[in-house]
């Protein structure tokens, strides 16, 4: 049996899914062709005037496919049945937290090597929302369209039935501890947003941040409704609407932690 823990198997699983998709498209085309027959001819006419050999082969193929897919259906784990939202049990959450936090840490270390400090102009625009200490410490990487890929465990999560996972590829920025990656250009708003996450990381720690993110996602099922994210967007929009209304992001984040709003 294949296992997610074996890197060689992960390749095989990806290949399996591509072949499954191919088979599904072929089935869809068989389904369409049969639907045309159904629309144009009655069952009686088909049975009476259809070539016997072709009819028999078609019936055999359909019956054996039905048997094959039904036996797979019987083995699909319960949680992924249609209509049942995917979830993680309390015992699975620590495993997911460990996976996400070590990935964030590892990617942060990787990008730290090629990251650059903020320019004086950028620091001036972000002060006093963020302290000078934070602005001196943070590093940024502009990928200019090269785009960061989604974490490797996304494939496993999708197989478990998780949809709407935050698409790293499509985000303006991704924060990894003290490093902020920008998929495209670094804009002031995107920088502000990334810095809010830097403060959340700093005050919560990467493990707690990961746990709150996962728990928030499990209950809201949407990236933008996860409180950590919703707060970053709301502070970013305050900044965008009125840059002269100065406030300390650290104070706001501390308040939310204190009030248990994350
Ligand atoms: Zn964000």
pLDDT tens digits, one per residue of 130-159: 999 999 999 999 998 888 889 999 988 888
Closest CA to 112 of 89, 90, 80, 140: 140
Written as tens digits, the pLDDT of the chain (262 aa) is 887 667 777 777 777 877 887 788 788 878 878 888 888 888 999 999 999 999 999 999 999 999 999 898 888 765 444 555 678 889 899 999 999 999 999 999 999 999 999 999 999 999 999 999 999 999 999 998 888 889 999 988 888 888 889 989 888 899 999 999 999 889 999 999 999 999 999 999 999 999 999 999 998 888 888 999 999 999 999 999 887 889 999 999 999 999 999 9
38 and 102 part of one domain: no
Provide the 8-state DSSP code for 224: G
Q: What is the per-residue pLDDT for 30?
A: 86
pTM: 0.69
Q: Which residues surround ligand 1, an ion (CB under 5 A)?
A: 229, 232
Let me know whether 200 and 128 are in one domain.
yes
Distance 137 CA to ligand 1 centre (A): 19
Measured CA to CA, the distance from residue 80 to residue 72 in angstroms comes to 13
Distance (Å) from CA 150 to ligand 1 centroid: 15
User: Are 48 and 102 in a shared domain?
Assistant: no
- 129: nearest Cα among 178, 191, 204, 173: 191
* Alpha carbon of residue 226 to chain centroid: 13
Closest C-alpha among 208, 232, 229, 210 to residue 220: 229
Q: Could you say which of 40, 56, 80 is where a domain stops?
A: 80
Query: Are 251 and 152 members of one domain?
Result: yes
By residue range, what is the domain housing residue 210? 93-258
Q: Is 173 exposed, middle or buried (0-12, 13-18, 19+ CB in 10 A)?
A: buried
Answer whether residue 231 is part of any domain: yes
Same-domain pairing of 27 and 116? no
Residue 238 CB partners (closer than 8 Å, separation 6+): 245, 247
Q: Show which of 58, 80, 102 is a domain's final residue.
A: 80
Same-domain pairing of 19 and 133: no
**Ligand 1 centroid to 184 CA: how many Å?**
15
- What domain count does the chain have? 2
Does residue 13 sit within a domain?
yes
Domain assignment present for residue 2? The answer is no
Same domain, 209 and 181: yes
- Contact predicate 224/233, CB 8 Å: yes
CA 222 / ligand 1 centre spacing (Å): 12
State whether 178 and 213 are in the same domain: yes
Q: How far is the CA of 193 from the centre of ligand 1 (A)?
A: 6
Q: Which has the closest alpha carbon to 249: 180, 205, 203, 214?
A: 203
Q: Examine residue 206 and state whether it is found in any structural domain, yes or no.
A: yes
User: Ligand 1 centre from 89 Cα, in Å?
Assistant: 25
Alpha-carbon distance 50 to 216, whole Å? 58
Q: What is the DSSP string of 49-81?
A: HS-HHHHHHHHHHHHHHHHHHHHHHTTS-GGGS
Q: Are residues 56 and 135 in the same domain?
A: no
Q: Are residues 23 and 52 in the same domain?
A: yes
Show the beta-strand stretches assigned E in the chain. 116-117, 139-142, 173-176, 179-182
Q: Residue 92: helix, strand or coil by DSSP?
A: coil
The domain boundary, picked from 80, 101, 120, lies at 80
**Is there a single domain that holds both residue 165 and residue 129?**
yes
In a domain, 86, yes or no: no
Measure 163 CA to ligand 1 centroid, in angstroms.
18
* Mean pLDDT over the full length of the chain: 89
CA of 84 to the centre of ligand 1 (A): 28
In a domain, 88, yes or no: no
Rounded distance between C-alpha atoms, residue 155 and residue 162, angstroms:
9
Q: Say if residue 199 is in the same domain as residue 109.
A: yes
Q: How far apart are the first and last CA of the chain?
A: 39
Q: How far is the CA of 14 from the centre of ligand 1 (A)?
A: 28
Is 52 a member of any domain?
yes
C-alpha of residue 27 to centroid of ligand 1, in Å: 40
> What distance in Å separates the CA atoms of residue 202 and residue 144, rounded to the nearest whole number?
27
Q: Is residue 71 part of a domain?
A: yes
- Spacing, Cα 232 to ligand 1 middle (Å): 6
Pairing of β 173-176 and β 116-117:
unpaired
Q: How far apart are CA 163 and CA 221, in angstroms?
A: 8
C-alpha pair distances (Å), 39 with each of 28, 36, 42, 118, 132: 16, 5, 8, 66, 72
Count CB atoms within 10 A of the CB of residue 157: 18
Report the separation in Å between the CA atom of 235 and the middle of ligand 1, taken as the mean of its atom positions. 11
């Amino acid at each position: 049996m294949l296992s997610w823990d074996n890197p060689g198997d992960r390749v095989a699983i990806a290949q399996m899914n591509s072949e499954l998709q191919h088979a599904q498209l072929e089935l869809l085309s068989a389904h369409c062709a049969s639907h045309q027959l159904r629309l144009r001819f009655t069952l009686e006419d088909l049975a009476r005037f259809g070539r016997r050999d072709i009819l028999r082969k078609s019936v055999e193929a359909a019956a054996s496919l039905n048997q094959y897919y039904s036996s797979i259906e019987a083995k699909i784990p319960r949680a992924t049945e249609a209509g049942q939202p995917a979830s993680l049990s309390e015992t699975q959450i620590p495993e997911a937290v460990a996976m996400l936090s070590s990935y964030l840490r590892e990617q942060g270390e990787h990008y730290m090597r090629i990251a650059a400090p903020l320019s004086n102009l950028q620091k001036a625009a972000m002060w006093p929302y963020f302290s000078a200490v934070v602005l001196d410490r943070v590093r940024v990487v502009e990928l200019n369209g090269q785009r960061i890929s989604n974490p490797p465990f996304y494939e496993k999560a999708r197989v478990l039935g998780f949809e709407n996972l935050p698409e790293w590829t499509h985000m303006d920025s991704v924060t990894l501890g003290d490093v902020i990656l920008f998929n495209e250009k670094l804009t002031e708003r995107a920088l502000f947003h990334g810095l809010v996450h830097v403060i959340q990381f700093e005050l919560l720690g990467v493990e707690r941040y990961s746990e709150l993110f996962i728990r928030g996602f499990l209950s809201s099922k949407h990236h933008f409704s996860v409180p950590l994210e919703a707060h970053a967007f709301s502070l970013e929009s305050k900044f965008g609407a009125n840059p002269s209304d100065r406030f300390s992001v650290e104070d706001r984040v501390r308040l939310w932690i204190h009030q248990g709003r994350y």
